Amino acid sequence: MERRTFGSTTLELVRGDITEQEVDAIVNAANARLAGGGGVDGAIHRRGGPSIMEECRKIGGCPTGSAVATGAGRLPARHVIHAVGPVWRGGTHGEDEQLASAYRRSLELADELGARTVAFPSLSTGAYRFPVDRAARIALGAVRAWLESAPTRIELVRFVLFDEATLDAYRRALAELGD
């Protein structure tokens, strides 16, 4: 496990299953329709049960670069924050800023919900094909900037990464951030 402190918040990198995280809020890699899908999104909906989808249907959708929250159903978390990252289209269509915005909005929402602990997956790097090394630098940079910009109740931000290659990319990006 890699750890770093930014402001008063600990940032962790771990390999694991985000649906098993006992945190206040987990972030879901959602699509703009909040319609469920594969990967992280499918796993969260399967494990959390139908109440999450019912709430998503009531919300209706979420624009790319933003996030909305629901309850967590049967998950060990209290909230699911559904963040919509961009589909990779070569890097010339604002994807970097949209990805950073999805992380920032997720943290804002977690803070508004009173969450002290938040777990993120690697947004947009699965079916949306965002290059993992680039996504890791953007994710960690956006999270660090947000944590250092204002006081927050969030004590822990954990990146829960599904495989060793993704975890390694995040380790490299964290090392590049320096102290």
Reduce the secondary structure of the chain to three states and give it as a string: CEEEEECCEEEEEEECCHHHCCCCEEEEECCCCCCCCCHHHHHHHHHHCHHHHHHHHHHCCCCCCCEEEEECCCCCCCEEEEECCCCCCCCCCCHHHHHHHHHHHHHHHHHHCCCCEEEECCCCCCCCCCCHHHHHHHHHHHHHHHHHHCCCCCCEEEEEECCHHHHHHHHHHHHHHCC
Name the catalytic one among 41, 96, 133, 163: 41
Active site residue 41: yes
> So which residues are the catalytic ones?
41
